[in-house]
Structure 1
Amino acid sequence: MAAAPQPPVPPNRPITVVGVGADGWPGLAETARAALREAGVVLGGPRQLDLLPAEVTAERVAWPSPLRPAVPGLLAEYGGRGLAVLASGDPMFYGIGRALAETVGPAALRVLPHPSSVSLACARLGWPLEDTEVVSLVGRPLDSLTLALHPGRRLLVLSADASTPAAVAALLGERGYGPSPLRLLEQLGGPAERTLTGTAEAWPHPVGDPLNLLAVECTATPDAPRLPLVPGLPDEAYESDGQLTKRHVRAATLATLAPRPGELLWDVGGGSGSIAIEWLRAHRGCRAVTVERDPVRAERIARNAAALGVPRLRVVTGPAPQSLAGLPTPDAVFVGGGLTAPGLLDACWAALPAGGRLVANTVTLESEALLTDWYRRHGGELLRLAVAHAVPVGGFTGWKQAMPVTQWSVVKPA
């Protein structure tokens, strides 16, 4: 079980968090300027600290790298000295404000935001903010962008550094979105602001300023794969050795698992990873761990997850139930293989909290007998899913029946 989160440790005095744009000191309101003049210590990135004039006499402390683990110690050291923290744009939008609020609690903060880079970009582009999807690649894998790629969608990509635009252009080409128009906006709001244009398949610009944001108008090629948001992606979307929950059964299984934002799935016997991957695709807040004993399949699951836009999938290589020990408490468990392994269902049932869901699929009589026994003892729903496909029969057409799948689903009572 994961360790319980520690309660926030409030500082002796409130922390002022000041959002700063590329325009620096001239772009700050007088309230923000006064807060920085009165501070005893100012924390920020080197670029942000360099924007402050001499009239800010506070001690200037640059964030170390990695930043997040250092936050509690720095707040404990400087929190009683009139601490101010500099952030890029809006501190509560993919900014340091989140880490500070989680460390000391929201009540210990005084946040003075600046317009975010996203707001400035939409103003320059004439895009409605509410219709524009934002994808951050700061500290996140490039493949995360894939989930947002749909024809006609407008994206703003928050770049990790100066190399991000070219990497995004290459990814778009690989995913069938090479014709997409791109606009690179550098140093938004500052005196060095500039905009560069091109397409993903013919991005002409060399590496530029590290403070940048990329606007994408998603335009697909005719043969780009269609990857809908609802469960039941085409089987061809997955790299597989045959161990794959097929499309129609997968859609029914995801509907029964019923993912909700923030929930964690255990996918036991991952195969090609399709159930965990489509659970994660349901919402960016969903979490999943897949357990697969075969190392080759485990590597394949990771490749499928990256290709389908959810590289955050955690893949555990090893047998179940042994590999389940120490995993965080699930909200739902899916067992797609290895049902007859001694103690597997017992371990999954024990791990579930009250209200958690368990879904198990099988095509064998031995596992079906096991599920029937658990159904008698714990209730839930036992059903059989059968799918037939039309195929040629001589000069006619007939039905070819796939192996029926027995599914048991249950909600654990209090």
Structure 2
Amino acid sequence: MDLVALHGFLADVGRTWDSVTVVDAVAAGPRHALNVCRARPAVVVAGADPAELARGLAGWRRTLTVADASGLVAVDPADAVVRRWVEPGFALCAADSGWTPSPGGWALPDDDFAHRDGMVATAEVRALALARLAPRPGELVWDVGAGPGAIGVECARLGAAVVAVERDPVQCVRIIANASAHGVDVRVVESPLAEAADLPRPDAVFVGGGGPDVVRRCARVGARRVVVATTDLERVVPARDALADAGYEVSGTQLSAARLTGGVLLAVNPVTVLWGAKKS
């Protein structure tokens, strides 16, 4: 990457080094660069095809500013897909408005998320799920049956791009509110998974809602890691079988936590968490 040219591009687009994330699509790969653009509010990409980059941003609110032979071109991704680019250089992918992830660790307190009547993945479940999902910059996570989106928001806080699939419109509003409160961007798809179209291929999937059919659909997309959480014991074996049939090595555990509250240990409903890792 030509750092002198990069410095000039930043000056041309009115950005500073500390206000953007810089990704070399040649070194890191175009998919990695695309997922960083999906996850961060301002990303400068070197070595990417602007049309390919724009095609992958469908569903994300972004604009592109590209340096090519004609100069600087600011364009909507839908237009960038069909434009003929001549000797493109750096591209700035910017969100409509900036955001900054809130400070703190992970497996945040349950009350840090707006939710309905305790219907949220508890901190204990999130801690294990996040460890098995392994979200990180350059990767894409699906949060399926997302509820209020606590898992997806936490994955986004750790740098991953996130698509939350949720059929309940009220919960979709909560996902947006929770993402905003924690300073991250989560793409929300208001639909059952079976009706969701053109979702980008994930690196990891969390299934928090839906039955074995949803697990089977998720297992078929080829993500390297799939995590399933359920309170229904009757769904454990079918979910395990769906993952195993799709070529995953499956492990699992039942979490039974008791929280210290006012000097008293109060039990939390047990949750079974399964995780599958794709066999190499």
Name the TM-score, length of structure 1 as normaliser: 0.46
Taking a change above 3 Å as real, the CA distance of residues 72 and 364 of structure 1, as seen in their structure-2 partners, is closer
Does the C-alpha gap of structure 1 residues 141 and 388 become closer, same or farther in structure 2, counting only changes over 3 Å? farther
Question: Counterpart amino acid of 1:359?
Answer: V
User: Structure 1 counterpart of 2:75, which letter?
Assistant: P
Match of 2:211, SS state, is: coil
2:269 counterpart of 1:269:
no
Instruction: Note the alpha carbon deviations across 1:114-153, whole angstroms, 9 max, x for none.
Output: xxxxxxxxxxxxxxxxxxxxxx9x83244513x1x5xxxx
- Aligned mates of 2:165, 2:156 — CA distance in 1: 15
Instruction: Say if 1:387 and 1:401, in contact at 8 Å, map to a contact too.
Output: yes
1:346 matched residue in structure 2: 216
Partner of 1:402: 268
CA contact (8 A) 1:375 1:408 kept: no
Is 1:315 matched up with 2:188?
Answer: yes
* Aligned residue-pair number: 215
Distance 2:107 2:139 in 1: 20
Of all paired residues, the percent bearing the same amino acid is 34
The answer for the alignment partner of 1:301 in structure 2 is 175
**Take 1:238 and 1:70, find their aligned partners in 2: how far apart are those partners?**
36
Counterpart-to-counterpart distance in 2, 1:391 and 1:375: 37
The structure showing larger relative contact order (alpha-carbon pairs under 8 Å, at least 6 residues apart) is 2
- Residue 131 (structure 2) aligns with: 255
Q: Is the 8 A contact 2:215 2:239 kept in 1?
A: no
Pairwise mapping of residues 50-199 of structure 1 onto structure 2 (< 5 A)?
A: 63=72, 65-66=74-75, 69=79, 73=83, 75-76=85-86, 97-99=89-91, 139-142=94-97, 144-145=99-100, 147=101
Q: After superposition, give the CA deviation of every residue in 1:15-52 in whole Å (9 maximum; x if it has no partner).
A: x9993869xxxxxxxxxxxxxxxxxxxxxxxxxxxxxx
Contact between 1:254 and 1:275, CA under 8 Å: does it hold in 2?
A: yes
Find the partner of 2:199 among 327, 330, 338: 327
Name the structure 2 match of 1:365: 233
Distance 1:319 1:398, change over 3 A: same
Kept in 1: contact 2:216–2:242 (CA 8 A)? no
SS of the counterpart of 2:90?
Answer: helix
Distance 2:260 2:76 in 1: 57
Offset, 1:315: 0.4
Of the two, which has the highest radius of gyration? 1
Change (3 A) 1:97 1:274: same
TM-score (normalizing by structure 2): 0.66
CA displacement at 1:256 relative to structure 2: 1.1
Q: Distance in 2 between matches of 1:316 and 1:373?
A: 27
Structure 1: distance between partners of 2:240 and 2:7: 60
